[in-house]
Chains A and B, each alone.
Chain A
Amino acid sequence: MNNNFGGDIAYLWSKYSGLYLDGIEKTIVLALLGTAVGCLIGFLCGILQTIPCAKTDKSVKRFLLGLLRAIIRIYVEVFRGTPMILQAVFIYYGLPYITGGGAKFSSTWLAAFVIVSINTGAYMAESVRGGIISIDPGQTEGAKAIGMTHFQTMLYVVLPQALRNIMPQIGNNLIINIKDTSIMFIIGFSEFFAEHRSIVGTTNKYFPSAAIEMIGYLLMTVICSIVLRRIEKKMDGSDSYKLVQGDALTMTAGNYNYPGKGSNFDERSRESGAAGRGGR
């Protein structure tokens, strides 16, 4: 029985905190950037997949759209359906092998970033598709009726609303990425978990180091969770709004029937009561 668990942790931290912190930084940067770019890929796939295709369109356009959809479908199935650790192996070791050294990533960082982005993109493509489907078709019709094109409709009307709806999924992906980037040791990228492996290799204190890892990962994910919740709240916007009073003599509160606001006169009395001199 080893009673020096706390002491071991303290020893590891005092000696290797620089390495651990460096690993944490690389992990969080990789997860954040990979998720962000993955989201962009997902949104792009979402827009392209939902381009309307009528039977009356030219056959060339229909063929190209069909091809595009097929490519996106294959991309999603392949990258969602295989382990990220093998994707890393294929992209980092496989590409130079096949091309005879022609296509090789200059750094493990770049390779890791590309792999996480592509992998997240495959998941996000489906999330975004779900998000787009969830938006009332009336929103699209309203946008079309004032002359917006498909891309404008998506960019200004549908995707901002879809983005809000899939924020929880984006959060999921970010947290999964924080943890799953730990497989990047396979290509020699020194993120948080890779640092653990190398520290353990020299100190042989496996479990105390694993405990540090646990705490580190949990801290990262919990902080991300809190930040994401904040962002969601911010996206929802304020529950109230300010009336704009043009003519000082008209009582705008007279038509003010937003539910949950009490009677028409509440607001006015609160105003005059609070400051003693009403009017904004």
Chain B
Amino acid sequence: MGEKILEVRHLSKSFGDNEVLKDIDFTVARGDVTSVIGASGSGKSTLLRCINLLETPTSGEILYHGENIQGRGFSASSYRAKVGMVFQSFNLFANMSVLENCEIGQRRVLGRGREEARANALRYLDKVGMTPYQNAKPRQISGGQKQRVAIARALAMEPEVLLFDEPTSALDPEMVGEVLDVMRSLASEGMTMLVVTHEMAFARDVSSCVAFMKDGVICEQGGPEQLFGAPQKSETREFLARFFGK
């Protein structure tokens, strides 16, 4: 196991009276590809959004290289620049072209020059196979293409960890494959990834670790062979049975 990048300790999150996350403990180490699976409403996305501080945790702490990300003097924006996020709904900037989407963060957040940002953006657009569309606006390309650009935008920031929040859930079935292919190649290159997904095949074949969430707690966690092959908890078995129609 590599160096610990993120450590989640006793994390809880409530929306009003509704406790969505209950005392979550969780670690992401360098090179890990962790898949978080579970039924809708089990708190998977909220966990990811808390890690990126898009939601403020109610209690508990999240450590980034041992430092509390909610501590005084900790800059949320420079932290987010190192922890990339890919959203279910892409969230590409509608007022910019594909290329500009991949440049803006490098230029304004990382302070890179125009040439460097452009070269870098093109490198990552090439990686996701979107170079030909660099001049298109987000509204002019398909869902799968948008998501590939969103991945390139996140990669262009050269993050330490990449968080994926159900990246294929908003896609037409025939476009899921192209996005998963990109994610698969990232995983094989050693990118540290935390993926909330309903794609069981991806979770089983690509991840190094799988966490199953139910009702705001991590119910079971382990290697993909163990979790899919020999689940210990009855909840996990039930969920997987429903999914694979066993």
Contact = CB atoms under 8 A, between A and B. Distances in A.
A156 B92 contact: no
Contacts of A56: 56, 70
B77 A139 contact: no
B44 interface: no
Interface string A231-252: 0000001001111111000001
B93 A241 contact: no
A145 B87 contact: yes
A21 B137 CA distance: 44
Interface stretch (A102-110, A147-155, A176-184, A209-217): A147-155
Given A144-B77, A147-B109, A243-B133, A258 B141 contact: yes
Most buried by B among A54, A148, A257: A148
B77 A148 contact: yes
Contact of B136 (A139, A141, A161, A258): A258
B109 to A, nearest CB: 4
B132 A245 contact: yes
Given A241-B140, A258-B140, A54 B87 contact: no
B93 A139 contact: yes
B81 A146 contact: yes
A33 interface: no
Given A145-B80, A257-B142, A258-B140, A157 B132 contact: no
B141 A146 contact: no
B109 A144 contact: no
B62 to A, nearest CB: 14
Interface in B192-216: none
A151 to B, nearest CB: 10
A252 B133 CA distance: 9
Contact of B91 (A138, A147, A160, A244): A138
B94 A161 contact: yes
A224 interface: no
Interface in A126-148: 136, 138-139, 141-148
Interface residues of A, number: 32
Interface string B27-69: 0000000000000000000000000101010000000000000
B132 A241 contact: no
B234 interface: no
Contacts of B154: 145-146
A244 B87 contact: no
B87 A147 contact: no
A82 interface: no
Contacts of A243: 132-133, 135
A203 interface: no
Interface residues of B, number: 41
Interface in B85-140: 85, 87, 89-95, 97, 104-105, 108-110, 126, 131-137, 140
A139 B95 CA distance: 10
B54 A144 contact: yes
A136 B91 CA distance: 9
Contacts of B141: 258
A182 B73 CA distance: 53
Nearest to B76: A144
Contact of A242 (B89, B135, B150): B135
A228 B131 CA distance: 35
A255 interface: yes
A244 B135 contact: yes
Nearest to A237: B137
Which 6 pairs between the two chains have the least Cβ-Cβ distance? A147-B81, A142-B91, A146-B105, A145-B85, A138-B91, A147-B109
29 contacts: A56-B56, A138-B90, A139-B93, A141-B91, A142-B87, A144-B54, A144-B77, A145-B87, A145-B154, A146-B80, A146-B81, A146-B154, A146-B157, A147-B81, A147-B82, A147-B109, A147-B110, A148-B105, A148-B109, A152-B109, A156-B108, A160-B95, A237-B137, A241-B133, A241-B136, A244-B134, A244-B135, A246-B132, A257-B142
Interface of B: 52, 54, 56, 70, 77-82, 84-85, 87, 89-95, 97, 104-105, 108-110, 126, 131-137, 140-142, 150, 153-154, 157
Interface of A: 54, 56, 136, 138-139, 141-149, 152, 156-157, 160-161, 164, 237, 240-246, 252, 255, 257-258
Given A136-B91, A141-B54, A252-B132, 20 more contacts: A139-B91, A139-B94, A141-B91, A145-B91, A146-B84, A146-B104, A147-B80, A147-B109, A148-B105, A152-B108, A157-B104, A164-B95, A241-B140, A243-B133, A244-B131, A244-B134, A246-B126, A255-B132, A258-B140, A258-B141
